């Protein structure tokens, strides 16, 4: 029998196409999902099905010679992108799943498009799947696809992984089509989450679904379509890749002689960037000894600029940074530097390596890979990780200084603690963080998910 193939299905491909003066260019897609899956598929090969970011014209090609795996595009027109992606996925699901229900907006046409486009992804996967191939569907854009694929390919082995939190029942039930979404996910043989709390929330919702029984001890859901296993798979990073990048990258100018505090995020209201700037302001008020000695560098990658909430967030951040600079800067020093764009991986790794403090303070985050990448890049004098207790990563990264990102004073105090921490204490904490991330990297994550899927579909 032939070896089973891995077919990955996600909204985005690992690159986004842009039409430039020299024709079609590939740019790496931003975000954590691609960071997780690209090293896995590069190693094991297979097929990646996703949306390339633009509408291709006749004669324009998606694939290139030398790709480590096959790429299959799912075409979306502009209106479909608006309704399925910006609309239902990012305007309705994203805020509810991150427990910001008041930010969510629902439109009937968005749901119709979501259902239709999910079916398109499911058909693309069904065309590829043969024998005992494995289809691994990812994230909140494709909650309906497992069930739709199950109808088209009843024998396929289907896994689903959710990269963002799953909210508590009382918040989840705000969603129109809540039951259809759950039934969509239950089309998979295995559903995976980053941490235990998300899985428990999911089971609380599934338990209330008519025709469904939940065996919590065994992580099994019985339903009208069959059986779904549910389990926790905390995502790791490609540790060796980041460690190597950081070891080889040229020295940055750090903070021009100041100690460097670093923030790296997609520009998103879940990431807590305004609260972080307020915490820096509070630090400079409470501890004037740090003035002219530190600099906070915030890197924000543009994201979802078509969604109004994201544009408003940018204005808020611009204003807050302006205020802190106006208040504390001197003729030779600014407390905050801010880049609204993405940097190449080598430069990012150098900044991670040279940062004295990483300030990773999302208000809610499925996992958060930035915290893990920072740790992997600490190949010299170790810095300190300040991590929000509301990120999935906080479940395992116990040696970070953990904070409540809504508590501005507490975050300011954590910053002070990090800046005055002894070298021995920094070393002790960082060694433990690094050992764990090295042992549980992205390859272990993928192996564990896929072998679990094989076991529950034998």
Which residues are identified as catalytic? 163, 365
Toward ligand GDG, which CB reaches closer, 365 or 437?
Answer: 365
> What pairs with residue 70 in β-bridges?
47
Residue recorded with tokens 């070891």 = 247
367 interacts with ligand GDG by CB under 6 A = yes
Pairing of strands 226-232, 220-223: antiparallel
Question: Shortest Cβ distance from residue 440 to ligand GDG (Å)?
Answer: 14
Q: Using CB under 6 A, which residues numbered 142 to 161 contact ligand GDG?
A: none
Question: Shortest Cβ distance from residue 18 to ligand GDG (Å)?
Answer: 16
Question: Shortest Cβ distance from residue 344 to ligand GDG (Å)?
Answer: 6
Instruction: Give the integer Cα–Cα distance in Å for 376 and 138.
Output: 25
Count of beta carbons in the 10 Å neighbourhood of residue 320: 19
Q: Which of 287, 279, 281, 286 is nearest to 329 (CA)?
A: 281
Q: HSE (CB half, 13 Å, CA atoms) of 338?
A: 20
30 interacts with ligand GDG by CB under 6 A = yes
Q: Work out which of 179, 334, 345, 438 binds ligand GDG, going by CB under 6 A.
A: 345
Coil, strand or helix at 296: strand
The torsion angle over the Cα atoms of residues 73, 79, 85 and 90, rounded to 10 degrees, is 170
343 interacts with ligand GDG by CB under 6 A = yes
CA-CA distances (angstroms) from residue 125 to 11, 121, 128, 300?
A: 12, 6, 5, 34
Stretch that binds ligand GDG, among 29-37, 78-86, 249-257, 402-410 (CB under 6 A): 29-37
Toward ligand GDG, which CB reaches closer, 245 or 284?
Answer: 245
Angle between helices 145-152 and 178-185 (to 10 degrees): 50
Q: Work out which of 144, 163, 276, 290 binds ligand GDG, going by CB under 6 A.
A: 163
235 interacts with ligand GDG by CB under 6 A = yes
Q: Work out which of 6, 7, 17, 36 binds ligand GDG, going by CB under 6 A.
A: 36
Toward ligand GDG, which CB reaches closer, 172 or 198?
Answer: 198
Toward ligand GDG, which CB reaches closer, 153 or 295?
Answer: 295
Q: Using CB under 6 A, which residues numbered 293 to 332 contact ligand GDG?
A: 299, 301
Pairing of strands 357-360, 157-161: unpaired
Binding site for ligand GDG (CB under 6 A): 30-33, 35-36, 163-164, 235, 264, 266, 299, 301, 342-343, 345, 348, 365-370, 373
């Amino acid at each position: 029998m032939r070896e089973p193939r891995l077919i990955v299905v996600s909204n985005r491909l690992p690159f986004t196409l842009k039409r430039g003066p020299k024709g079609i260019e590939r740019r790496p897609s931003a975000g954590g999902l691609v960071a997780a899956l690209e090293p896995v598929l590069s190693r094991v090969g297979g097929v990646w099905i996703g949306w390339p970011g633009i509408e291709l014209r006749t004669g324009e090609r998606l694939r290139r010679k030398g790709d480590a795996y096959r790429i299959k595009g799912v075409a979306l027109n502009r209106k479909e992108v608006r309704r399925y992606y910006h609309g239902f996925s990012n305007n309705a699901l994203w805020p509810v799943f991150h427990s910001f229900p008041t930010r969510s907006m629902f439109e009937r046409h968005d749901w119709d498009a979501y259902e239709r486009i999910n079916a398109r992804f499911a058909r693309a996967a069904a065309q590829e799947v043969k024998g005992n191939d494995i289809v691994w569907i990812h994230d909140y854009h494709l909650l309906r696809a497992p069930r739709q694929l199950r109808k088209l390919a009843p024998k396929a082995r289907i896994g689903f992984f959710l990269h963002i939190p799953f909210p508590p029942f009382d918040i989840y039930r705000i969603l129109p089509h809540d039951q259809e979404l759950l039934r969509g996910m239950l089309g998979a043989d295995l559903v995976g989450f980053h941490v235990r709390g998300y899985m428990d929330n999911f089971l609380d919702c599934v338990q209330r679904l008519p025709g469904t029984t939940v065996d919590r001890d065994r992580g099994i859901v019985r339903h009208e379509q069959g059986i779904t296993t549910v389990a926790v798979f905390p995502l790791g990073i490609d540790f060796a890749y980041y460690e190597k990048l950081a070891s080889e990258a040229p020295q940055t100018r750090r903070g021009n002689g100041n100690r460097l505090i670093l923030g790296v995020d997609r520009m998103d209201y879940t990431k807590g960037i305004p609260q972080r700037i307020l915490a820096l302001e509070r630090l400079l008020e409470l501890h004037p000894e740090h003035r002219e000695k530190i600099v906070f560098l915030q890197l924000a990658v543009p994201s979802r600029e078509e969604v109004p909430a994201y544009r408003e967030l940018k204005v808020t951040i611009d204003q807050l940074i302006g205020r802190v600079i106006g208040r504390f800067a001197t003729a030779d020093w600014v407390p905050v530097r801010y880049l609204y764009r993405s940097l190449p991986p080598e430069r990012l790794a150098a900044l991670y390596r040279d940062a004295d403090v990483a300030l990773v303070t999302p208000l809610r985050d499925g996992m958060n890979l930035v915290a893990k990448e920072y740790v992997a890049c600490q190949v010299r004098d170790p810095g300190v990780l300040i991590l929000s207790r509301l990120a999935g990563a906080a479940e395992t990264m116990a040696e970070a200084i953990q904070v409540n990102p809504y508590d501005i004073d507490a975050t300011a105090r954590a910053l002070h603690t990090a800046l005055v921490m002894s070298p021995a204490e920094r070393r002790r904490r960082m060694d433990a963080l690094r050992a764990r991330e090295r042992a549980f990297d992205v390859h272990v994550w993928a192996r564990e998910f896929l072998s679990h899927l094989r076991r529950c579909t034998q």
